[in-house]
């Protein structure tokens, strides 16, 4: 993946600036063209390549009937660079972050906040996090909060409870597991024959 680094010391040649001004004229815009204009446009567009300027000119002419100024081209170039850089950062961060690890880090941070504030978590939430989520679109691991999905359960949406951070079916599953554990730990009475 290539890195987008703004080039600030590059200056277009007089021929390139003349080409740009010719393209502006050919787009039907009336601008002054002369030695001073070429020098002014060249100075204003220092750090931007001819290709970037031509792409910005195309965008400008699609959205405006007014003749472009150097500032208009710079605005479009910076927006394109920012969009490219944002996409690269997003792709790089998505490739490096493990969702379960991020959720565990967030939960650890929230635990510190709850402890500092003296807040208690409801027991149902703690027990619901002790089992994996049964919702096929979520399948959050034990200890990890559920993701919001549009899954349907018994004809109604199975949404994440915003206070607990888990699907309702996960809470039901945790309650079933707790009931089974309680049943297994109770002493069994033998029935006389």
Q: What is the pLDDT along the chain (193 residues), one digit of tens a residue?
A: 444 455 556 788 999 999 999 999 888 888 888 899 999 999 999 989 999 999 999 999 998 888 999 999 999 999 999 998 888 888 777 667 777 777 778 878 888 887 787 776 655 556 777 888 888 778 888 877 887 655 455 555 566 665 667 787 888 888 888 777 767 665 555 555 5
Q: Are 20 and 53 in contact (CB under 8 A)?
A: yes
pLDDT of residue 1: 43
Residue 87's domain comprises 14-96
HSE, side-chain direction, 13 A CA sphere, residue 51: 4
The model carries a pTM of 0.46
pLDDT of residue 60: 93
Q: Per the domain annotation, does 51 fall within a domain?
A: yes
19 and 90, same domain (yes or no): yes
Q: Per the domain annotation, does 129 fall within a domain?
A: yes
| Number of domains forming the structure of the chain | 2
Domain boundary among the residues 96, 131, 147 is at 96
Q: Per the domain annotation, does 74 fall within a domain?
A: yes
Q: Per the domain annotation, does 105 fall within a domain?
A: no
79 and 134, same domain (yes or no): no
Domain boundary among the residues 66, 96, 126 is at 96
Q: Of 136, 164, 163, which is closest to residue 150 (Cα–Cα)?
A: 136
pLDDT of residue 151: 47
121 and 178, same domain (yes or no): yes
Q: Per the domain annotation, does 103 fall within a domain?
A: no
Phi, psi of 56 (to 5 degrees): -65, -35
Domain boundary among the residues 47, 74, 96 is at 96
pLDDT of residue 188: 55
pLDDT of residue 2: 46
133 and 82, same domain (yes or no): no
pLDDT of residue 55: 93
129 and 81, same domain (yes or no): no
Say which DSSP state 50 is in. Answer: H
pLDDT of residue 20: 92
């Amino acid at each position: 993946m290539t890195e987008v680094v703004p080039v600030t010391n590059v200056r277009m040649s007089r021929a390139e600036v003349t080409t740009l001004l010719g393209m502006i004229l050919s787009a039907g815009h009336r601008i002054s063209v002369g030695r001073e204009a070429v020098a002014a446009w060249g100075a204003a567009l220092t750090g931007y390549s001819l290709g970037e300027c031509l792409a910005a000119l195309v965008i400008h002419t699609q959205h405006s009937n007014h003749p472009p100024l150097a500032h208009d081209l710079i605005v479009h170039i910076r927006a394109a660079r920012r969009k490219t850089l944002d996409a690269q950062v997003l792709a790089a961060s998505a490739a490096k972050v493990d969702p379960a690890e991020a959720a565990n880090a967030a939960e650890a941070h929230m635990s510190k906040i709850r402890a500092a504030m003296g807040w208690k978590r409801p027991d149902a939430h703690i027990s619901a996090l002790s089992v994996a989520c049964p919702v096929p679109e979520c399948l959050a691991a034990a200890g990890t909060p559920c993701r919001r999905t549009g899954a349907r359960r018994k004809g109604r949406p199975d949404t994440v409870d915003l206070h607990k951070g888990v699907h309702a079916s996960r809470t039901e599953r945790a309650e079933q597991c707790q009931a089974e554990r309680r049943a297994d730990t109770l002493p069994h009475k033998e029935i006389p024959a």
